[in-house]
Structures are given as structure tokens and as C-alpha cells.
A and B are shown apart, each in its own frame.
Chain A
Amino acid sequence: MDPTTIGLLSFGVMMILIVLGIPIAFAMLATAAGGLYIIRGVHYAAEQISSTFWDQATNFVFIAVPMYFLMGQLVYRTNIAADLYDCVYKWLGRLPGGLAITSVVACAGFGAVSGGSVTAVATMGPMCLPAMRRYNYDDSLATGSIASAGTLGILIPPSIILVVYGIWTESSIGALFIAGIIPGILMTIGYSATIWVRCKMNPELGPIGEAFTLGEKFASLAKLLPVLLTFIVVIGGIYAGVFTPTEAAAVGVFALLLIALVMRRINPESLGKSLLETMHTSAMIFVIIIGGHMMGKFVVQTGLTQGLIDWMQGLGLGPLTTMLMISILYIILGLFLDVWGMLILTIPFLFPIILEMGFDPIWFGIYAVIMAELALITPPVGINVYVLAKLASDVPLNKIFRGVAPFFIATLGLVVLIVLFPEIVTWLPEKAGMITAYEG
């Protein structure tokens, strides 16, 4: 059997293992190890896993992963998230579909001080959902908006996915963070507009909420302070050159701890829970990253990568057609794969093609994150939807997936926008002078 066939077959094996319910990290590790064993022997396979483990586990920049998770945990366990929701609610609750819009904006705010997406859903869901139910919001709209808005957490900086993308492609994490701001805001506006238009057309979907006086509204602004302060410290500090994006993660944790101490919102128990959760999440992501790297290393040995690149280049497609094909590929992969699995399996192959076609690596990072957001909400495997289904156990899964559909379309709209106008992504980091790429 030639290596290319082995490569193709092993993809089948990996998918079978994943569908059976073997954890994705181990499905990738087993397939890669098995494949390398067939091509290069057991010694090579064992050396490669161990060497990959060692190399990733001692990569300084990865420290950002546990730290940005810890930030999310702290925001949640110190009720800073609840404050955030409360304030946004008072300001936006009276709009058509106002409580759903509140969920979107509150999720965006949570995203600005944490690094993940599912954490955003799990944190904001228990606050947003009961409020919408109290006002008889349509189940589909209520659940769909939270599940979708949770994905803003990985586009709006800080973002763990952008950190890892930066490490893989050796692009500047700082530039990626800054590049995520405008698309993140656009996506927040896009999601809110989607809700507003739907509720304007059919007010039954999202009845108008509670009214607050202007005094109450302004008084609630104080509750935004912790989130605002933390975001300014973290992103401002990166921009001002006080610290690197990796260090910013530790600074963010420190800032939140300080705020929580001042507000008397933290005790050893909640701190301990935050730390332990952070450990487990990091370990999980870490094993997936090793699995993905192993798959990448195995697939390179099979020659599949080069074959794919040659094939794509042989087609002689223009940049737009290429992006269309890549987008379709991502949507299909995103149906079945989780974010990490999807990115780690594609970036090593697509990145060279992208560079070859003259796309900016920072731009592609933002593009890839938006595509990853779709993976989180599309059936059959949409982690955000599953989390929400557990929060709203009486809402059937297909109803949530239906509620997600308008947001899916809105996200595609943003994808079209950034493909046609890449400046949306590159303008801000360019203004900050942060765009750079490796050059031979």
C-alpha cells in the first residue's frame, strides 16, 4: 500500500473512532500513531508522540491557554458576569427582542474578558435564559441567540484559539488579537440586528421587557466597570507595549482577582474551583493539540499534504474561488468536528496554500476563527448547542438548531464581507503597525 492510500484510509479510521465515541484527542493520537507505525515503524511512532508531547508542554506561549480560561472562570464565579448582564439588560431590554439582544451583547462583553466560547455559553446561559422565558420569548430565538452569541468569545480578544493559531503559524498573537476587535464588534451588531429584524417582523418572538428609568440605567453602568477595566488593562497593555499577549493573560487574572478582592467577591472555595476547572480544561485542550500535531506529522509523511497543495494549485483557481472552496470545506468539516479538531486538521494544509495565494496570515487567522464559530453551532456536532440543551432541557435539540439558523446566515454574511473587504480585519492591526509575516 502506498503512503497516500494509508493516509486516506486512516482518515476513515479516525472518523469511525470519533463517531463511535472515542474522545477526539485519542482518535487522532491512535490514528496518527498507527499510521506512523505502518509507514516508519513502532520506534518512530513512539518517539514522535513523546517528542511532540515534550515540545508542546514546554512551549512558553501556551501558558496563555490556562490563564485566559482562568479569567473566564473568575468572571463567572465572582458574579462579575451577572453584573454585566444586569447592566446590559437595563439598557437594551426594551428593544424589540431586547432580551435576546441583551444576551448577545452580554456574551460579547464576557468574550472581552475571557478566552473561550463554550465557557461563555455555560456562564451567560443561566442568566439570559430565565429572563427570556419570563417574558415568553420564543424558545428557538432564546436558545439560538445564546448558543450563537457564545461564539463571540473566541473572536473578540483575548482568544485561546487565536493564541494557538499564532503559535502554529508563527504569526503575531498581538496582531491577531487587535485584528479580532472590529469583526467581533461587527458580528455583535450583526447578531443583534438579526434579532431586531426578526422581532420587528414578528413581535410575538421577543416581547418587550421591563422598563427602567434613566437613573436606574445610569446607576447600572457602574456594574460594567470590572469588565471594562479588565479589558482595557489586558488589550491596552498589549497595545501599549507593557506586556506580551502571553503575559497579558497573567495580568488579566491578576486584575480580576484584585477587583474581586476589593468587591469581596472571592473566597478560597471559589478560587479553588476556578483553578481546578482551569487545570482540567487546559489538560483536555492540550491533549487535543498533541493529537492534532501528531495527525499533521503523520499526514505529512504520507505525502497527502503536498498532493493536496499541488492539486489545488493545479486547478489554477483565483483567490475568491479558493476561499469559496475552503469555506465549503470548513462548513462540512464543522458539521462533524469540534473547533480544535477542525482547525488542527486544516491549518497545516491550508496555511501554505493561503500564503501562496497572497492572503495575509493574520487575516486568515480571523477567517478561520469565524469558520470555527460555525462549527460550534451546526448539527450534528455543535458543542454550544449541546451545552444550551442541558440548560434548557425542555427545549428539543432540533428547535435550538433551528434557532441558530439565522445567526448561521449572519455569520456567513460576515465571512463574505471580510473576504471581499479584507481591510475590515487588517486595517486596525496595520494602523497599529502590527502586521507582519515571515518572509524567505
Chain B
Amino acid sequence: NASGVGTTLEEAKANTSAVQDWLGGDVPDPEVTYSGDVIEMVATHHLPPVAGLSKVVAAGYRNLEKMSDGKIKVNDQWGGTVHSVREGRRATRTGLSHFAPCFSLYSAKDYTTVGGLGLPFLLNNAHEAVAVAEELYPKYFKDEFEQYGVLVGRMAHTSPYHLFTKDKAVRTLEDIKGMKIRAGGGTHAAIIGALGATQTSIPGAEAYTAMQRGIVDAIHFGDAIAPVFKVHEIAKYRTTNGFNVLTIEYCASKDFFDDLPKDLQLVYNAWARQMAQADAQGFYSVGDVSGLTRTRDAGVEIIDMPEAELDRWKEAVAPLTAEWIANEEKAGRPGKVFIDEVKALSAKYAAMTPNEIFQLTIDSPNMGMYDFK
């Protein structure tokens, strides 16, 4: 149960019922006193509007309109028609967009501490990762992002990554040695290297064909998104290892937020925190369950390694965390304390149900993400 929401779709939906209701339009009604003109928020995304994630995100935008009593109108533009995903941070800084994906992994060297969230076997699922990352944001990440002239809209995360292999079943650590695996940016490439596999850089547009033709032997994906990229059609095996989750931040325009009246700033923050959980639970965690089912139904063999074998993998990648901590400490940042705090919070949220986490987000939203009026 890597998804943290159950093993069947019914179970997953029941366990995330609060988020399901929220996405259905059942939102809290915070007080709005602002009586001026309607404010337009331009929200951009690289995915087309028909994508599963887009539908969740779009429902969220309608909720913001509702929660702001219609005072914020979201002009959502899809399919990369305003900027590409790589240009998200710049777009929110320069005013092309007010809210956009801006994944730190596309410019990994611009960040330090946030990269730690992607260390192997640290965070277990999307909604837990979001809860941890947002809670640690004011202390560890705020300056890191704000130096680039942007705010963070949400610290979104994918569900955990597993290994999809084309021809060869991976059951032990020995099996993965020498396998060519498509490497994403940041920590991901390092994990592949630490396992003794070959880091192969293939542009996203060519990834499917590369795996299909055998240029790479395997691809890492979360279960929620693997079927979207039709990985289940070309993979014969999927080895559960859940190495790490990917941090896929959304940036927000600082000018837009600063120009909002105080009451709308509060609404915006409440909404953004709820949206962060809704996106994590509603798309990634639930999608993990349905995606895995779909992958299995397509005839892909699901390989779950015994605990003892998984421990060998954890051992193999352990030096990465040690190395990361050492680098942080060398640069004068509290790497050890950070990892300890991540682990403590991870345990705290792992003990809560998804509905409890969402309720906590509504009842006591994180007030440390922005500088309010």
C-alpha cells in the first residue's frame, strides 16, 4: 500500500472523501470583505485541459473563485500556450502568469535544501510529502524560492517512483546493474548511479520511443502517471521500490499576491493549502491505485521485493543521503537537522488518515508561506 490511501479504487476514494467533496465544489466559505473589482488571476499549465491532472487542478481554480466570492476570477490557460514547463518560474516572476508549475528539478543547481526532499526512501506518498514540505517551507525553502522573485503556490509532489522495465525482470539488486535507465534531473540521476545502473539522458519527448526501441532498458515513473505516458504498453515488469517522490512545485506571482487585499490574501492562502492536499490526494495518491490496477490489467508483472531485499537497496543508496547531509553542513546549512525533521514529520503524517490531514489543512492552514499585509 504505497499510495497511503488503500489498495482498491473504492477504498482510495472513501479514504480521501474529504478531498473528493472539496473537488466536487464543497468548499469552506471564508469571510470576504473586499468589495472592489474582480481580480483576474492568470493560471497556466503545460498539460492539455483533457489530462487527468488538469481536471483536478481546474476544479481547484473554480473553488478559488467560489471561496473568494467571485472576487478572484481565474483565467486558466492550458497546453503550454503561454510558456513551456521549463519557463514556469520565469513566467510567474515576469508576469506572463500568476500561477504555474515551476519544477525545481529543471534547474536543480538553483536550489540546495529543497533537493533533499527527493532523497531516497525519505517520503512515502504524495499527500504526506506535501504536508511535510509545506510545513517545513517557511523555515527551509522560503528564502530559496523568494530569491528568484517568486512565491510558491504549492509544494506539490508526485507519488513514489517505481521501476518499469522493458524486457528484464528486476527482482534483486544484481538485476539492475548495468541497466540503462532514463535519468531525470537532481537526486534521481544519483540514485540510478548508486544502484549500479547506467544514467541515460533522453529528452522527455523521446522517452517513450527510447524505451520502446530499447535505447533505455527501464524508466522510473509513479503509478499515477505511468499509464498517461502509456508505459504499461511497453513495460513487461514493474518492480515496486518507491525510491523517492519528485517535488514538482507551483510558483506564484509575488506582485499578484502583494496586490491582493488582506482578506483575499487569507482566502488565497487557505485555498492554496487545500489545493496542495487536494492535488496530492485527489490526483496522485488515488491515481496511484487506479494506475497500478491499469498497469497490472495490461499484463505487466508487478514485482514486490521481500523486505530483506529492499533493505539491500536502501543500503546501496544510503551514501547519497550521507553525502547530501555532508554537503549541506559544509555550506553552513543544518542538513542533519533538516533530514531529522523530515523524518519526524513524515512519521507524524503517516499516523494520520488522508481525511485527517485535509481537515488539519482546513482548520489550521500554514500561515508561514507568505508575508501577509
Contact = CB atoms under 8 A, between A and B. Distances in A.
Asked if chains A and B are in direct contact (CB within 8 A), the reply is yes
Contacts of B96: 44, 47-48, 51
B209 interface: yes
Nearest to A348: B81
Given A242-B215, A434-B212, A61 B87 contact: no
A54 B202 contact: no
Contacts of A114: none
B337 interface: no
B52 A297 contact: no
Contacts of A172: 205-206, 208-209
B77 interface: yes
A365 B321 CA distance: 46
Nearest to A356: B50
Interface string B247-290: 00000000000000000000000000000000000000000000
B206 A173 contact: yes
B241 interface: no
Interface in A285-312: 296-297, 300, 305
A60 B203 CA distance: 7
Nearest to A299: B81
B217 to A, nearest CB: 10
Interface in B51-84: 51-52, 54-55, 77, 79, 81-84
Interface in B193-233: 202-203, 205-206, 208-210, 212-215, 227-230, 233
Q: 8 tightest CB-CB pairs across the interface, nearest first?
A: A241-B213, A241-B214, A440-B51, A300-B81, A174-B209, A440-B50, A172-B209, A47-B94
Contacts of A43: 94-95
A268 interface: no
A307 to B, nearest CB: 14
B86 interface: yes
Contacts of B206: 61, 172-174, 244-246
Interface of A: 43-44, 47-48, 51, 54-55, 58, 60-61, 166-167, 170, 172-175, 238-246, 296-297, 300, 305, 348, 352, 355, 433-434, 436-440
B213 A240 contact: yes
Interface of B: 48, 50-52, 54-55, 77, 79, 81-84, 86-87, 90-91, 94-96, 202-203, 205-206, 208-210, 212-215, 227-230, 233-234
Contacts of A44: 95-96
Contacts of B48: 352, 438, 440
B77 A440 contact: no
A51 B87 contact: yes
Contacts of A170: 205
Nearest to A433: B212
Contacts of B208: 172, 436
A173 B82 CA distance: 24
B107 to A, nearest CB: 12
A242 B215 CA distance: 6
In the complex, which of the residues B48, B203, B209 has the most CB atoms of chain A within 10 Å of its own CB atom? B209
Nearest to A176: B209
Contacts of B55: 440
A300 B48 CA distance: 13
Contacts of A58: 86
6 contacts: A44-B95, A51-B91, A60-B203, A300-B81, A355-B50, A434-B209
Given A51-B91, A58-B86, A240-B213, 8 more contacts: A43-B94, A51-B94, A167-B205, A241-B210, A244-B206, A245-B206, A434-B209, A434-B213
Nearest to B54: A440
